[in-house]
């Protein structure tokens, strides 16, 4: 029997509560005690935690967000961060940590592992850009939300004979843009992996209109970059504790450019955090549940420094270093398939 801590860090993601519930349920069956740290690494630094039991995690499977709260706190940006984490774990009698997060949260986990802390990571991000796993949980829900939005924008674009630019999340990778764009029948999809020429986008829209269509849908990932720009366009300033710029706003630029260059009336919609909120799809509840059970099993067996991952239909363990080496970018073949349907 051991005491195991868990935390959810970085942007929230549909399915986090499914992971928490699964870790607690399986961990309790194995005779472990579970301690949930509040608000990501901030809670470990501050020693803010709550006991988690099957009773206290009942009824959360279908709920979005995270019952533990989250933050983008980077302990290595704080004075003595690593030591403070170890001190909290020692004081709480916590033998191992299960951090549920993306590249930043798991990056901290990897560093702690190198310093001798027992960790098992669970991959979370709606962006689906973590290497080592075929999918992260939360991605399918975000894609469905974006696809539903594109369907709705389609009918209003068609009625008004407009171009509509839809901006979705995706900092380094265009997975959400490519999947929702393909599912929603987008006429152009712009992703961070491929710089785009605004004139080429306009040409595609013109071609469509020349061949009889009176409206077009352009899906753009927030991290997509025009060929002439040195940096991603954003309406915001400043960076978070991991050095990431706050994105959002490339659609504003595209709206202006497409309307000015083509003369077609154009509108833009930035979907933003609606993609991360609310009820997880069944797929993400199932994947989160499988990840949670696999993570506590790895901790139970003392297989630390690993991350649970989906490979094909199997849940496997990969070294944290493998998952963190570089982001998992959009498969070029997938993009080429989407391109078949562009205007």
User: Known catalytic residues?
Assistant: 127
Instruction: Output 117 or 221, the one with its CB closest to ligand F6P.
Output: 221
CA angle 166, 172, 175 (to 5 degrees): 55
Query: Rounded to the nearest 5 degrees, what angle is found at the Cα of 11, between the Cα atoms of 10 and 15?
Result: 105
271 is an interface residue for ligand F6P by CB under 6 A? no
Angle at Cα 40 formed by Cα 37 and Cα 45, nearest 5°?
A: 70
For position 126 contacting ligand F6P by CB under 6 A, the verdict is: yes
Asked if 10 interacts with ligand F6P (CB under 6 A), we say: yes
Q: First and final CA of the chain: distance in angstroms?
A: 60
Task: By CB under 6 A, tell whether 169 contacts ligand F6P.
Answer: yes
Q: Quick check: 11 binds ligand F6P (CB under 6 A)?
A: yes
Nearest Cα to 89, choosing from 322, 253, 304, 245? 304
CA separation for the pair 112, 131 (Å, rounded): 19
CB of 73 to ligand F6P, least distance (A): 12
Answer for which of 170, 280, 292, 305 binds ligand F6P (CB under 6 A) is: 170
Residues 48 and 65: their CA atoms lie apart, in Å, by 19
Stretch that binds ligand F6P, among 30-38, 74-82, 151-159, 163-171 (CB under 6 A): 163-171
The burial of 237, by beta-carbon neighbours within 10 Å (0-12 exposed, 13-18 middle, 19 or more buried), is given as exposed
Instruction: Say whether 196 sits in a helix, a strand or coil.
Output: strand
Distance of CA 151 to the CA centre of its chain: 22
The span from the CA of 18 to the CA of 287, in Å, is 9
Is 99 a residue that touches ligand F6P (CB under 6 A)? no
The answer to the question of residue 127 lying near ligand F6P (CB under 6 A) is: yes
User: What are the distances in angstroms from CA 99 to CA 60, 122, 138?
Assistant: 18, 6, 16
Contact flag: residue 270 with ligand F6P (CB under 6 A) = no
Candidates 78-86, 119-127, 143-151, 281-289: pick the segment binding ligand F6P (CB under 6 A): 119-127
Contacting residue, 57, 88, 105, 125, with ligand F6P by CB under 6 A: 125
177 binds ligand F6P (CB under 6 A): no
Of residues 202-241, those binding ligand F6P (CB under 6 A)? 222
Binding of ligand F6P by 305 (CB under 6 A): no
Q: How many residues bind ligand F6P (CB under 6 A)?
A: 11
Helix (H) or strand (E) holding 279: none
Instruction: With contacts defined by CB under 6 A, name the span among 24-32, 166-174, 280-288, 333-341 that binds ligand F6P.
Output: 166-174
- Binding region for ligand F6P (CB under 6 A): 10-11, 102, 125-127, 169-171, 222, 247
């Amino acid at each position: 029997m051991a005491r195991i801590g868990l935390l959810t860090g970085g942007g929230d993601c549909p399915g986090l509560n499914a992971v928490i519930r699964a870790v607690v349920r399986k961990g309790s069956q194995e005779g472990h005690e579970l301690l949930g740290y509040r608000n990501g690494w901030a809670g470990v630094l501050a020693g803010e935690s709550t006991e988690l039991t099957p009773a206290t995690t009942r009824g959360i499977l279908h709920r979005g967000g995270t019952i533990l709260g989250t933050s983008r706190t980077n302990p290595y940006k704080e004075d003595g961060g690593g030591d403070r984490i170890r001190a909290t774990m020692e004081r709480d009698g916590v033998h191992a940590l299960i951090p549920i997060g993306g590249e930043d949260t798991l990056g901290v986990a990897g560093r702690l592992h190198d310093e001798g802390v027992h960790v098992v990571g669970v991959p979370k991000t709606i962006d689906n850009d973590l290497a080592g796993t075929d999918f992260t949980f939360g991605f399918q829900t975000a894609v469905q939300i974006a696809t539903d939005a594109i369907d709705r924008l389609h009918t209003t674009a068609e009625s008004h004979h407009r171009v509509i630019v839809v901006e979705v999340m995706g900092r380094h990778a265009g997975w959400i843009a490519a999947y929702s764009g393909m599912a929603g029948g987008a006429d152009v999809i712009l992703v961070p992996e491929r710089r785009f020429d605004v004139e080429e986008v306009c040409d595609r829209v013109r071609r469509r209109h020349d061949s009889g269509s009176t409206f077009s849908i352009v899906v753009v990932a927030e991290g997509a970059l025009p060929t002439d720009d040195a940096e991603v366009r954003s309406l915001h300033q400043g960076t978070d504790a991991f050095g990431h710029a706050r994105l959002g706003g490339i659609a504003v630029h595209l709206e202006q450019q497409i309307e000015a260059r083509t003369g077609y009336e154009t509108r833009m919609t930035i979907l933003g955090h609606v993609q991360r909120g609310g009820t997880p799809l069944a797929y993400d509840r199932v994947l989160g549940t499988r990840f949670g059970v696999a993570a506590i099993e790895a901790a139970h067996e003392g297989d630390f420094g690993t991350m649970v991952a989906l490979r094909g239909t199997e849940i496997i363990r990969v070294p944290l270093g493998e998952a963190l080496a570089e982001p998992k970018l959009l498969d070029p073949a997938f993009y080429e398939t989407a391109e078949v349907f562009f205007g």
